Amino acid sequence: MHEFVVVRRSILAALDRGLRAFVPLCLLFLLSGCTSVGYYGQLMQGQWQLLQAREPVARILVDPSRDPRLREQLQRAQAARDFASAHLHLPDNRSYRLYADIGRPLVVWNVFATPEFSLAPLTHCFPIAGCVAYRGYYSQSGARGEAALQKLSGRDVYIGGVEAYSTLGWFDDPILNTMLGWGDERLATLIFHELAHQRVYVQDDTEFNESFATFVEQEGTRQWRAWRGLAKAAGTPALQREQFTRLVLETRERLGALYAQPLSAEAMRAGKAAEFEHLRREYRQLRDERWGGDRRFDAWMNGPMNNAKLLPFGLYDQWVPAFAGLFRQVNGDWQAFYAHAEKLGKLPMDQRRTELNRLGR
């Protein structure tokens, strides 16, 4: 009983911290106009509902009335959570030691938008997170409404569903039911990724933040497998995703070169369509000749294609080779790696990217 009271107090304390953070933000939002009030209102409501749904994993694990499969999944997730702090030196706090079932398959839907002939994302700025290359919605209908408005403005638009996100340590982030569907290893990688955002985060540089967290996720997963005595991950699906990502990034490069040319809008559209068809042909060849016909990416590839659909790849992968180079440079010392990453994050943007380019060679 005493343990329950202590746990309950800690949850209430987290909610109190959240309220103290949200009150000044609400004042800012109210000064931003009706559209902003509506948008930020859904953000605050969605986050509040998520906070209310949390419960300690420890309590679920000892409750025989709870779903046995859920308890088994959470038990294994806690082993990965312990590994994250003990071996990867990620924050040791209550994040991912709580669980929340929010009753839907995705937690947030992000809306990405670009001009018709540019890969530069439409950015949005927030008081805490800084400027990011997307706008998030806690409902799919809200995301679709925003996407429709962006399309009316002539922009390329893509909606990407999100299983998890980090509040950067402002709250004790829970394991969500949205994170449980892809197996134990995928859940571990999500925990590593989101905790990495708590460890190092740079305002106004989505590419840096997501590439950093992606590298921590990938290297953390490799070490997690080794620690458990598992064989090195097989070529699929990890290698397939790497090869698929490379195809997309190469397409981005070709499109960037196309958009830099002094062409008419009609010629630019024709070249753009040709590049997307080139991507599909290369994908089909890779799928059929090297993957044995595995169609895991067919739905994505065969759907409508535009600039915005390619954005998440550049955001999440652009600087991964640079962080891999940095990790080798410090001989795999996580603490030194984080210290150097923090120093990179403090550099002016141009210097930071110059250094990242050097590290990625």
Query: What does the pLDDT look like over 301-351, one tens digit per residue?
Result: 999 999 999 998 877 788 999 999 999 999 999 999 999 999 999 999 999
pLDDT at 12 over 60: no
Give the pLDDT band of residue 37 (cuts 50, 70, 90). Answer: confident
CA–CA separation, 92 vs 78, rounded Å? 12
Instruction: State mean pLDDT over 223-239.
Output: 80
Calpha distance 331→82 (Å, rounded): 23
Tell me the CA end-to-end span of the chain in Å, nearest whole number: 57
Instruction: Report residue 27's pLDDT band, with 50, 70 and 90 as the boundaries.
Output: very low
Greater confidence (79 vs 21) lies with 79
pLDDT of residue 312: 87
C-alpha torsion 189→214→100→86, nearest 10: 60
> Mean per-residue pLDDT for 172-177?
96
**What are the boundaries of each domain within the chain?**
2-107+163-227, 238-359
* 131: region left, alpha or beta (phi > 0 left; psi from -120 to 50 alpha): beta
pLDDT band with cut points at 50, 70 and 90 for residue 128: low
Task: DSSP for 43-69, please give it.
Answer: HHHHHHHHHHHEEEHHHHHT-TTS-HH
Confidence of residue 234 (pLDDT cuts 50, 70, 90): low
pLDDT at residue 261 tops 80? yes
Q: What is the mean pLDDT of the chain?
A: 88
| 5 pLDDT higher than 70 | no
Residue percentage of the chain with pLDDT more than 90: 74
Over the stretch 329-338, which tens digit does the pLDDT of each residue have? Answer: 999 999 999 9
pLDDT for the residue 187:
94
Segment 282-294 shows an average pLDDT of 95
Look at residue 33 and tell me whether its pLDDT is greater than 60: no
What is the pLDDT at residue 235?
60
* Cβ neighbours for 104, distance < 8 A, ≥ 6 positions apart: 178
Distance separating alpha carbons of residues 272 and 77, to the nearest angstrom: 43
**pLDDT tens column, 98-117:** 999 999 999 999 999 999 99
Q: pLDDT band at residue 21, thresholds of 50, 70 and 90?
A: very low
Alpha-carbon dihedral 340, 345, 350, 354, rounded to 10 degrees: 20
This prediction's pTM: 0.82
- Mapped onto helix, strand or coil, the DSSP state of residue 99 is strand
Q: What is the structure's pLDDT at 40?
A: 86
3-state secondary structure of 121: coil
Report the side by side order of strands in the sheet with 175-176. Answer: 54-56, 98-100, 175-176
pLDDT category at 233 given cuts 50, 70, 90 is: low
Radius of gyration of the chain (CA): 21
Confidence of residue 20 (pLDDT cuts 50, 70, 90): very low
